[in-house]
Chains A and B, each alone.
Chain A
Amino acid sequence: MVKITYSENRLVVQGQLLISELENLEKILKFIDKTVMSSLEINLAAVNRIDSAGVAFLDEILERGKAKGLSVQMVHAGPHIAATIAAFSSRNLPEADSTAPPSIFENIGGWLVEVGRNTKQLLYLISDSAWFAVTGLFHKKGVRKGEFIRQSIIIGMNSFPIVALISFLVGLILALQSAAQLRIFGAGIYVADLVAISMTREMGPLMTAIVFAGRSGSAIASEIATMVVTEETDALKSMALNPVRYVLVPKIYAITLTMPLLTVLSIILGILGALVIGMAYLDIGPLPFYNEVLTVLILKDLLTGLIKSVIFAWIIVLVGAYYGFRVRGGAQGVGSATTASVVASIFLVILADSLLGLLFYFGGGADM
């Protein structure tokens, strides 16, 4: 037990000043703050045990007394108690990180600086990637043999089943939505036109990119982030290998190849989805449907879709790599980098899609 009494500038502490005994001390600290005294003497003669929490408690009283301008003294501590106090005293220690929370202006300023710095880093990454991607076509040194093929297979295979399934369903839904209306006018066959054009120009590239961002973009971000956290990228640099070139460039090649292929797959499956509706609901045979698709689709539509898909691919791989390379803070950082990369790349893909839509529309004439 610990017992603390006060009378006339004198605080008498008795018993065991141990962490398990120190409760409700707030009261005593407040008492010291409030009570008027001319000086303070802490009598420790009857303290028979003390630990570092007890020492911290005495220090707190001492410093509060001093803050009030009192002369404070500890007296009559037994030799063992005095030694423990000396060993664990927290007086004269630097104030612990008492960093005040930043003000709102500092916050905004810090945020702007951060945005500036991030943009700069992203631009560096883009220029590095572009440089190494182009020069890498001619200099094969410093890249693992077969890495391009391996990456293409991994990245493509990752996304293949889910892209296929989602595209099929999207085509099906698009057809179903329009079939009812078109049938009223006896124009059921135009379901083929509608789905073919929207899958080719819009939904195919977009759906593929979104699935890709979630499946392969996140994998790229977490792979690179893990390499940074485990100092693998430092090890590469120490062996004179540029991590962008060694890790990222093969992925860029691979994704530039696989993304358009997946997009074509997506378009085909979307149209197949529409065909199912056409056959089941509108009594259109496969051959008339196929002919209708061929007459309505022109090469320009397909090119529009493929250009979009390549641009989306670059956005996804660069955003993933960007978040991967700037990861901070252990295994936990890997998780947040991955999540952030997916959110950012989906947003940027949709933003780019809108911008490209405008560009193709105004740049290519009203028929686009």
Chain B
Amino acid sequence: MSTESLTNIIQVEDLTTGYNGRTVLQNVSMVARAHEITVILGASGCGKTTLLKNMIRLYQPWSGSIRLFGKEITDMDEPEFNHLLQNIGVLFQNGALLNSIPVSENISIPLLQHTKLPRVLIQRLVRIKLHLVGLENAGHLLPSELSGGMRKRAALARAIAMDPPLLFGDEPSAGLDPVTSAALDDLLLKLRNDLGMTILLVSHEVPSILRIADSIIFLESGRVLFCGPLKQALTAGIEEVDDFFSKGSEGRRAG
């Protein structure tokens, strides 16, 4: 997929949605720019996961528009959207690995689904991804035999199996120890720098956000308080944003 000419890989306009008649997101507009790491911030329960799930059409928004790679997805037909999904990797908040098959097979699912690569290459790719997330010796284990942090890393390996131009990550570093969490940040930077991935993350870890984020989107009670470059956010003088970063650096977690 050609992404060169596009600056906004994700463009959401006036998105309003919720569950069972209860509004969760209200007139949300945001963008994520090509080859950037964009981080969504906000207290837990403010609708970050909901926003991500709407972007991959697990839920239909009540109103508004979502464009990925310049294409409106809210009214796209099924085959076209499935084709688009080849270019998207998703790391779910709880990992969402298939529990009945080993980790390495979990990682090979998208490769088998979307490509015609020879088996040897698929196996090699699986090994590369396992190595990237530091699980080279865990490929044969079942997800239930992994610790929570390992499960999350395995899920990330599956999300990047196809080197997707666009990666969604719902709290990839939550629950990880500081060392693993820093290694994960390095990996995300590597994916952006070497492969030019566009990455949209949900995160609460202030040190990590300061290190890797190019842009941030600050959500509060279902509305966007700020959307733009990190540097601007830090100097914009928005009380809630300043609060988040100062409290976060003291070691407290927002979520």
Contacts and interface: CB of A to CB of B under 8 A. Distances in A.
B195 A55 contact: no
Given A29-B118, A331-B99, A332-B99, A56 B125 contact: yes
Count class of interface residues, chain B: 35 or more
B136 A94 contact: yes
A1 interface: no
Interface string A30-72: 0000000000000000000001110111011000000000000
A47 B115 CA distance: 21
A97 interface: yes
A19 B124 contact: no
Contacts of A287: none
Interface stretch (B38-46, B56-64, B139-147, B210-218): B139-147
Interface string B119-140: 0110111111111100011011
A96 interface: yes
B158 to A, nearest CB: 13
Given A97-B104, A330-B143, A90 B127 contact: yes
B128 A84 contact: no
B124 A60 contact: yes
Given A19-B162, A52-B195, A332-B99, A96 B127 contact: yes
A74 interface: no
Majority-rule SS of A interface residues: helix
A25 B121 contact: yes
B100 interface: yes
A88 interface: yes
24 contacts: A19-B117, A22-B121, A25-B117, A52-B129, A53-B163, A55-B128, A56-B124, A56-B125, A57-B121, A80-B194, A88-B128, A88-B132, A90-B124, A93-B127, A93-B128, A96-B104, A96-B123, A96-B127, A96-B130, A96-B139, A329-B99, A329-B144, A330-B144, A332-B99
Interface of A: 18-20, 22-26, 29, 51-53, 55-57, 59-60, 80, 83-84, 87-90, 93-94, 96-97, 99, 229, 328-333
Interface of B: 1, 86, 99-100, 102, 104, 115-118, 120-121, 123-132, 136-137, 139-140, 142-145, 162-163, 190, 194-195
